[in-house]
Amino acid sequence: MKVLLIDDHPLILSALQNIIQGLSDNVSVVATGSARMARETLAQDSAFDLVLLDLRLGDADGFDVLTEFRAAYPALPVVVVSASDRTSDVIRAIDLGAMGFVPKRASNETLFEALSMVMSGGIYVPPMSMGDETPESGLYGDTAPGSVRQRATDEGFQTHAPLESLGLTPRQTEVLGLLLQGKPNKLIARDLNLSVETVKDHVAAVLRTLNVSSRTQAVLAVGQMSRQQGGLHGWRKNSP
């Protein structure tokens, strides 16, 4: 597996590189300290399996870089690894096409879990529904001053049941799969040979069943379920 790291903090970049290389002898890591260096690296060799991207870079906004890379390299999964764990940042990153979001205060085990899930075709989002988790140790040995789950609970996120227990019909399951690929209703209708109005009805039913009100929230909900179930193979969000 070939991984591109993008972080402008040298100590964090070095720590992440050591952590990722420790995953396996077959992992190759290229570390870059700026968006410019990352662009040049990908321009010379785009054969990477994964990108880990910090949101705060000295020469660019991480969200802009995420958008740029998802457009230029749509088959290349991008996982955000950020000092921020704000719900709004998680939602925005997933909405822009990130396959995962890992707060830097998370444990090494959480990072391993997230990368494994993404590489197996799943979507990783941090726990955002349970308020009983104690703070985790950070990726670099720091102790987290607060609970991500508790803050998300305070912000109104709901607990989602495992996907299999939701009772989606086979057609609704197909619609959800295409929805997670970022496809608009017209393309879903074409792929499934349905009318746009029928697709709208199915999408509304899926969102209602997931207890969410938008496509982005649906992605987050499925991401939480995939985390609970150890990954949902085939539920991959490939489009930016």
Mean pLDDT of the chain, nearest integer:
78
Q: Where are the domains of the chain?
A: 2-154, 163-210
What pLDDT score was predicted for residue 227? 58
Residues 6+ apart with CB under 8 A from 200: 185
pLDDT tens string 3-41: 999 999 998 899 889 888 887 778 899 999 999 999 999
Kindly report the pTM of this predicted structure: 0.65
Architecture of domain 163-210: Orthogonal Bundle (1.10)
What pLDDT score was predicted for residue 229? 57
pLDDT tens string 76-105: 999 999 998 888 898 889 888 888 899 988
pLDDT tens string 209-233: 888 888 777 877 777 676 555 544 4
Tell the burial category of 145 from Cβ atoms under 10 Å away from its Cβ (0-12, 13-18, 19+): exposed
What pLDDT score was predicted for residue 189? 92
How confident is residue 157, by pLDDT bands cut at 50, 70 and 90? very low
Give the Cα-Cα-Cα angle 224, 95, 162 (nearest 5 degrees). Answer: 20
* Between residues 65 and 120, the one the model is more confident about: 65
Query: Across residues 32-51, what is the average pLDDT?
Result: 95
What pLDDT score was predicted for residue 163? 58
Superfamily grouping for domain 2-154: Response regulator (3.40.50.2300)
How confident is residue 182, by pLDDT bands cut at 50, 70 and 90? low
